[in-house]
Structure 1
Amino acid sequence: MTTLADPVPGGRPGDVERAAALAGELTGRGVHGVVLAYVDTAGIGRVKTIPTARLASAAAWGVGMSPVFDTFLANDAIVTTDVLGSPDGDLRLYPDLGQLVVLSGQPGWAWAPVDRITQEGEPHPGCARTFLRRIVTDAAGHHGITFKAAVEVEWTFAQAPTADGGFVPATTGPAYGATRQVELGDCTADLLAALAEQGIDVEQLHPEYAAGQFEVSVGALDPVTAADRSVLVRQTIRAVARRHGFAVSFAPAVVAQGVGNGGHIHLSAWRDGVNLHSGGERRYGMTAEAESFTAGVLARLPALTAVTAPSPVSYLRLKPSQWAGVFTAWGRETRETALRVITGTAGHREQAANLEVKPVDLAANPYLTLGCLIAAGLDGLTSHAALPGEITGDPARLGAEEAAARGVRRLPVSLDEAVAAFREDAPLRAALGPVLADAVIAVRQGELAAVQGLDDEQLAAAYRWTY
């Protein structure tokens, strides 16, 4: 279970004793080290590792790491803000023992997500996981609302990269085809086994549209655990694929043309165990609160794109008529709108109804993404925002006049446009706080500068094996 309390010097109550006991159990199972994992502003998973015997010490006093990583770019260059990016200072990484997992795909290792605090014992304002925990805690305290969330993970199986970093898909079968399942059946069977051994509830794993592409969907959990699971699932996919001789890429666009890898978010709001997206008197069973929550997300989508599609390469994926959701529109089960209202099957709707956010990819930090989406939705809920009319079919078919009349706009077509919208969205930046908001802007600007002058093919190659 996710630990919702902030870490404190000396350890959260009971954590040191629990860590000592866990270390003994892990050693008995042949686990030699623990991966301490977090995700930076550029969406890159960063880690430190410790010997298993040091777990109790880490629970008490954390593990040191520089705050400079909050302004690392995907290529490991460093940008700065007024408070981040210097070589000064230190942070302490504290493992969430409730999420510690033995890695089935990496024998000898366990894994745990971390929260970060300062040397003085205060929550680090640049910690995305702490940000998400605060948003979730505030929603429960101020609105009586909890959330369930899940992150879809799409990726591409490839042969080992060529000498020039080129891409050769590991399977050549048709999209969604049985051939792909057969050709990669041994690897995907091992992947399912590893995920099950790690306690991850897999709903489906199947071939997808693009060359070599697969998708795994996992069960919905509280948002912090859902973000943790997204990171853990990718770690597991990469490890299992490597043992079978394959490389994987979660990059938004592995090649310049065609369908890219998404990271769609499923999100539902609950009060007292009742799903607000089902059983209500508004459209498709939504309650008034669920409609306003959806309207809040819809209104902030242009600015949110700087968080949900945070890389220059994200915009090779965000193309019309490719199910990427690139228009400010919603619809029931409409895969071309940015927000897809899912009602679920009759008889199961009270559990299954949710909102799917489509313009999201796996270059996005899942903690930042979920926190910002929830903040936007709560802003709509608080203001009783009205949800406009739904769109059916592909919004790309609408003429300019009809689209304008129905409030349908194209989402940013470049990271530069997304950052401009983010700068203008004061409520979203306020939810993040100045340190995180400035880090988002600085890192996005740094990514843009790093790829200036590249054509689409070069851009895809630059990020192909980074994510």
Structure 2
Amino acid sequence: MTTALGALLTNDLVGITRGRFFPLPARSAAMEKGCGWVPANLGLTPFDEIAADNPWGCTGDLRLLPDPQTRFLSRRLGDGALDGMLCDITTLEGTPWYGCGRSFLKAALSDLENEFGLVLQGAFEMEFQIQGASWGTAPAFSLQAMRRADTMCRDLVDALTDIGAAPEIILPEYGQDQFELACAPRPGLQAADKAVLVREVVREVARLHGHRATFTPKLQPDGVGNGLHIHFSFLDATDGTPVTYDPAHPHGVSAQCGQFVAGIVRHMPALMVMCAPTVVSYLRLVPHHWSAAYSSFGALNREAALRICPIAPHADPARAFNIEFRPTDGTASPYWALGCLVRAGLEGLRQRLPTPPLLSGDPDALSEAERAQSGITRLPATLGAALDCFLSDHVVRQWFDPVLIEGIRTAKKCEMDKTRDWSPENICEQYARIY
């Protein structure tokens, strides 16, 4: 009889879940002490390279400290159960480390509640594609496309249900062998935790069916993109009343929600280094692809980076009303991406920024003067441009420790240097192997 293993996991700046493993008989010790971690691990590029000039070097020690409330277990994944916990990265003294995305998100959510009495509810809607299947072709969104993958999808729903992340919906999408999966809204930290785990379970179920699931933003340069859409709404921290919707305000956007959205719109170009953190991300963020190439706010508009989502008939608008952030993709960490949205939203709340004007139609069809009048700006078109926006936004830089900023800079430069001479086709191929 073999010894089962458990996992202590974290999710890094480029959305890769990494960690350590322990024999399950030693669970009590693992829960109490966690395990060792290394600062330079945060400097890893998607290609597992660490920039020679990264700020951490060979020094320093940290701990992965598990949160027992995040324990997950599914026995439906082949011979070995998927068992483990998500962790905070801490110093040796047990205090949060500045490079821990989960701690970054927790602190931002705490500030939102303490300063403005708002509790964020979040949900992640993710797209992925299956490689290696011999299903043949089927029309987009069709019953044929769903039925040919029925066994895999049923196994996926069962495994996700085991870990407390049963999807609200799973469907065949527009792209070749592309699927979309959406989970129910949860408090912000729980939503990010589940998003991390859902991606790993999807990969495991696909592997056990002889396929490969990829969340890469682009599988082919001219193909459809895979996004990681982040939905959010707000509850009053005192009594749990929904406060995102207000019928007295234009389009139902409450004053606080509008201020929060305005902060995101203002700082969105700088957020892309966390929300679209890899070279391949920018093959997706182009006009006319429903992936949001401009920093804008719209209603029922898939070219808007932030959009008011539709409300189902007979639904309570106060509870169903939510905002969707569309530029994020599957190379992003749910912790860092959502944490940055909250931090930007806090800036809008503190400054009482006015709700941005609603975009009507395709922003790329507007003239530069029309976009400028509406406060619509083009998002960075490359990772290098995104890094420049990040480094030049002094408000956003204040959210991060200077050493972390330098770590981000050196890691992105290392990634860009490696891929500089690659063709778009090679970029897509290489990132699909990782994500």
What letter is aligned with 2:141? Answer: Y
Task: Name which of structure 1's ranges 405-414 and 103-112 shifts more when overlaid on structure 2.
Answer: 103-112
The 2-side partners of 1:42 and 1:194 are apart by 25
The 2-side partners of 1:171 and 1:235 are apart by 25
Instruction: Say which of 53, 57, 69 aligns to 1:98.
Output: 69
Q: Is the 8 A contact 2:245 2:253 kept in 1?
A: yes
Task: Name which of structure 1's ranges 353-362 and 73-82 shifts more when overlaid on structure 2.
Answer: 73-82
Q: Residue in 1 aligned with 2:19?
A: 47
Secondary structure of the corresponding residue to residue 358 of structure 2: coil
In the alignment, is residue 233 of structure 1 matched against residue 201 of structure 2? no
The 2-side partners of 1:170 and 1:421 are apart by 43
Structure 1 stretches of 4+ with a deviation exceeding 6 A read: none
In the alignment, is residue 329 of structure 1 matched against residue 296 of structure 2? yes
The 2-side partners of 1:59 and 1:341 are apart by 41
Secondary structure of the corresponding residue to residue 302 of structure 2: coil
Residues 289-304 of structure 1 correspond to what in structure 2 (within 5 A)?
Answer: 289-304=256-271
Size of the aligned set, in residue pairs, is 430
The 1-side partners of 2:400 and 2:62 are apart by 19
Instruction: Say which of 94, 101, 107 aligns to 1:134.
Output: 107
Secondary structure of the corresponding residue to residue 403 of structure 1: helix
Q: CA deviation at 1:288?
A: 0.9
In the alignment, is residue 354 of structure 1 matched against residue 319 of structure 2? no
Task: Name which of structure 1's ranges 295-304 and 393-402 shifts more when overlaid on structure 2.
Answer: 393-402
What letter is aligned with 1:98? Answer: Q
Q: Is the 8 A contact 1:38 1:45 kept in 2?
A: yes
Secondary structure of the corresponding residue to residue 116 of structure 1: strand
Secondary structure of the corresponding residue to residue 147 of structure 1: strand
Secondary structure of the corresponding residue to residue 342 of structure 2: helix
The 1-side partners of 2:136 and 2:234 are apart by 39
What TM-score do the two structures reach when normalised by structure 1? 0.88
Query: For the structure 1 residues 142 and 415, does the alpha-carbon distance in structure 2 shift closer, same or farther, using more than 3 Å as the test?
Result: same
The 2-side partners of 1:171 and 1:436 are apart by 46
Query: For the structure 1 residues 463 and 245, does the alpha-carbon distance in structure 2 shift closer, same or farther, using more than 3 Å as the test?
Result: same
Q: Is the 8 A contact 2:8 2:34 kept in 1?
A: no
Q: CA deviation at 1:31?
A: 8.4
Secondary structure of the corresponding residue to residue 153 of structure 1: strand
Query: For the structure 1 residues 436 and 266, does the alpha-carbon distance in structure 2 shift closer, same or farther, using more than 3 Å as the test?
Result: farther
The 2-side partners of 1:292 and 1:68 are apart by 37
Secondary structure of the corresponding residue to residue 291 of structure 2: coil
The 2-side partners of 1:109 and 1:406 are apart by 49
In the alignment, is residue 379 of structure 1 matched against residue 350 of structure 2? no
Q: Deviation digits for residues 23-54 of structure 1, max 9, x if unmatched?
A: xxxx9xx9822111111112211121111122
Query: For the structure 1 residues 296 and 77, does the alpha-carbon distance in structure 2 shift closer, same or farther, using more than 3 Å as the test?
Result: same
Secondary structure of the corresponding residue to residue 277 of structure 1: coil
Q: CA deviation at 1:95?
A: 1.1
Q: Is the 8 A contact 1:309 1:363 kept in 2?
A: yes
Percentage identity across paired residues of the two chains: 32
Q: CA deviation at 1:79?
A: 1.8
Q: Is the 8 A contact 2:292 2:327 kept in 1?
A: yes
Secondary structure of the corresponding residue to residue 269 of structure 2: helix
Q: CA deviation at 1:142?
A: 2.0
Instruction: Say which of 408, 425, 440 aligns to 2:376.
Output: 408
Task: Name which of structure 1's ranges 52-61 and 432-441 shifts more when overlaid on structure 2.
Answer: 432-441
Q: Is the 8 A contact 2:130 2:212 kept in 1?
A: yes
Q: Residue in 2 aligned with 1:110?
A: 83
Q: Is the 8 A contact 1:280 1:288 kept in 2?
A: no
Q: Is the 8 A contact 2:235 2:241 kept in 1?
A: yes
What letter is aligned with 1:124? Answer: W
Q: Is the 8 A contact 2:221 2:425 kept in 1?
A: yes
Residues 35-434 of structure 1 correspond to what in structure 2 (within 5 A)?
Answer: 35-79=7-51, 83-84=55-56, 86-106=57-77, 107-159=80-132, 171-271=136-236, 272=238, 273-342=240-309, 344-345=311-312, 346-434=314-402
Q: Residue in 1 aligned with 2:408?
A: 440
How much is the aligned-residue C-alpha RMSD, in angstroms?
Answer: 1.9
Q: Is the 8 A contact 1:132 1:370 kept in 2?
A: yes
What TM-score do the two structures reach when normalised by structure 2? 0.94
What letter is aligned with 2:84? Answer: W
What letter is aligned with 2:112? Answer: A
Task: Name which of structure 1's ranges 97-106 and 259-268 shifts more when overlaid on structure 2.
Answer: 97-106
Secondary structure of the corresponding residue to residue 234 of structure 2: strand
